[in-house]
Structure formats: C-alpha cells, structure tokens
Amino acid sequence: MLRIIIWVLLCLVFQSSVQAKTCNTVKSLAWLAGNWNSSNDKHRFNESWQQISDKTFEGLGSTYSIEKKQIVSSESLRLVEMAGEVFYLAKVASNNLPVAFKLTSCTADSAIFENPQHDFPKKLRYQSTKDKNMTVFVSGDNGKGFAINFVGKNDGKTSVHSK
C-alpha cells in the first residue's frame, strides 16, 4: 500500500512540474486564439486574439451598449513572452500606460494572470470550457469581480455574472 501511495505522489509531482513548464510560453495559450462573443440584455462583449509571432499574441476587447448603440469601452490586449515568463498587457482609456499581469498558473485549458499592486482587477482567469467556449473571471479584493461567458467564433447569447 505504501508503494502505491508513493507512486501516486510521484505522479502528481511529475504532472505538476510538466504543467508548470508550459506556463512560460505563449504557445501554451494557443486555445485563446479566435473571436469570442457574449451578450446580456444591456451589452455585447467581444474579445479577439491572434498569435502574431512565436512570442506574442495581440487582442482586442470591447463592450457595446445596446441602449446607447455604441461602444462604451475598449482595450488593446497583448500576451508577450519575455525572459522565460508570459505577461498579459492591457491598454485601457483610463490608464496612460498598459497594465501588466504576470502569468502565474496555467493548464492545458486555463491561465491565471495576476497583478496584486493594481487597483482593479488584480487577477484574470481565462478558462476554456468543455464545449470549447471560454469564461473569463475578473477579480479584485474582497471577492469583488465578475465573469463573462464567451462563445467562440459564434454570436450565441451568453451571460455576464457579477459577484
């Protein structure tokens, strides 16, 4: 019995180290590429990503107000591999400079980017779903945040949930 427990623990340690190694390249995030859409009664959300080099993805995000019939926010996004690490850079109108989030954890279908010094958000978690869609969890202090359920390469109606 002890041999089985040791074998299982070794397998878990090996699996963790293999997963951790994939977090230092943008290639491990290839599942993000494409156009992602979501909507609720008030807004339509779009996020699109494309790999432009072995070390860079470019993305765009926008929120369209159905009531105002115009885009009410947009952001320029970038994933950059530098010095053996991956960073998520978001350029939004409210900041003069891009905000950087470091990739701190990933698996074959998820990625967590964090910047504990930023006001909000502090953490972005991208999660591919079983049906090949994507949920983005945006969070800050004290459980504050929201999630957007995106449909990939479709215009399906999905939802945004606030905490």
**Per the structure, how many domains does the chain have?**
1
Report the pLDDT averaged over residues 88-101. Answer: 95
Categorize the per-residue pLDDT at 51 as very low, low, confident or very high, splitting at 50, 70 and 90. very high
pTM: 0.80
Asked if the model's pLDDT at residue 120 lies above 70, the reply is yes
- Is the separation of the CB atoms in 128 and 110 below 8 Å? yes
CATH code of the domain in which 125 resides = 2.40.128.20
Asked if the model's pLDDT at residue 64 lies above 90, the reply is yes
List, in sequence order, every residue forming a beta bridge with 152; answer none if it has no partner: 36
* Integer Cα distance of 124 and 86 in angstroms: 14
Categorize the per-residue pLDDT at 17 as very low, low, confident or very high, splitting at 50, 70 and 90. very low
Q: What is the maximal distance between C-alpha atoms in the chain?
A: 66
Check residue 16 and give its pLDDT: 41
Using a pLDDT cut of 90, give the percent of the chain over it: 72
* Integer Cα distance of 53 and 30 in angstroms: 12
Categorize the per-residue pLDDT at 132 as very low, low, confident or very high, splitting at 50, 70 and 90. confident
- Per the structure, the complete domain to which residue 63 belongs is given by 2-162
Asked if the model's pLDDT at residue 37 lies above 70, the reply is yes
Asked if the model's pLDDT at residue 114 lies above 70, the reply is yes
Phi, psi (degrees; rounded to nearest 5) at 119 = -65, -55
Q: Where is mean pLDDT largest: 19-23, 107-111, 112-116?
A: 112-116
